[in-house]
């Protein structure tokens, strides 16, 4: 039994990330997404669109007010599905946050 579980775990971890989008977001899933983004960015206040990540697997975050001649770069996050799990990956740091309340669909190109 232990070997079976280990094997299953290995299979899950070996499953590839698939670009994903959020299906039918809820208040709860929106709040969870906003928390995940905020935590990845040192707790900054973040405004997201209600339809964030519902059309595209890329979420780009920038200062709410850009400088007129801004030398910074935005932060980028990718939504991926691994098996049945939905996770947000911060590209710059590789930090991965599982979104428990969101339902993900594989992104069809």
Partner 1 sequence: MAAGPAFRMLMIAALVSVSACGGGGGGGGGGTATTAVGWTPGIFQPAANFAGQCSALSENNWLRSWTNDLYLWYDEVVDRDPALFTTPAYFDLLKTTATTASGNPKDKFHFTYDTAAWQALSQSGVEAGYGVEWAVVARFVPRRVVVAYTEPGSPAIAAGANLARGAEVLTVDGVDVVNDNTGSGVDAINAGLFPAASGETHTFAVRDLGAATPRTFTLRSANVTLSPVQGVTTIPTPSGPVGYLFFTDHIATAESALVSAVSALKAANITDLVLDIRYNGGGYLDIASELAFMIAGSARTAGRTFEQIVFNAKHGAEPPFAFAGTTEGFSLAAGQALPTLDLPRVFVLTGNGTCSASESIINSLRGVGVQVIQVGSSTCGKPYGFTPQDNCGTTYFSIQFKGVNAIGFGDYTDGFSPANASGAAGTPLPGCSVADDLGHALGDPAEGRLAAALMYRTSSTCPAPSGFAPPGGLSGIHAQAAPASGGLRTKSPWRENRILR
Near partner 1 by CB under 8 A, which window of 14-22, 41-49, 80-88, 93-101?
A: 41-49
> Residues near 51 by Cβ (< 8 Å), separated by ≥ 6?
25
Chosen residue from 2, 24, 69, 94 binding partner 1 by CB under 8 A? 69
Residue linked to tokens 């993900």: 104
Instruction: Return the number of the residue (30 or 81) whose C-beta is nearest partner 1.
Output: 30
Chosen residue from 5, 14, 67, 108 binding partner 1 by CB under 8 A? 67
Q: What is the dihedral of CA 59, 28, 81, 41, to 10 degrees?
A: 40
Residues in the chain: 109
Does 18 engage in binding with partner 1 (CB under 8 A)? no
SS3 68: coil
SS3 91: coil
Does 14 engage in binding with partner 1 (CB under 8 A)? no
Chosen residue from 19, 39, 48, 105 binding partner 1 by CB under 8 A? 48
Chosen residue from 8, 49, 98, 100 binding partner 1 by CB under 8 A? 49
Residue 47, Cβ neighbours under 10 Å: how many? 8
Q: Which positions touch partner 1 (CB under 8 A)?
A: 37, 41, 44-52, 58-76
């Amino acid at each position: 039994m232990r070997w079976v579980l280990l094997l299953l775990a290995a299979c899950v971890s070996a499953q590839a990330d698939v670009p994903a989008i959020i299906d039918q977001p809820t208040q709860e899933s929106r709040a969870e997404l906003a928390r995940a983004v905020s935590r990845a960015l040192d707790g900054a206040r973040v405004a997201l669109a209600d339809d964030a990540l519902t059309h595209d697997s890329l979420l780009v975050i920038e200062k709410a007010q850009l400088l007129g001649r801004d030398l910074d770069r935005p932060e980028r996050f990718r939504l991926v599905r691994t098996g049945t799990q939905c996770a947000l990956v911060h590209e710059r740091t590789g930090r991965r946050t599982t979104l428990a309340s969101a339902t993900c669909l594989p992104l069809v190109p």
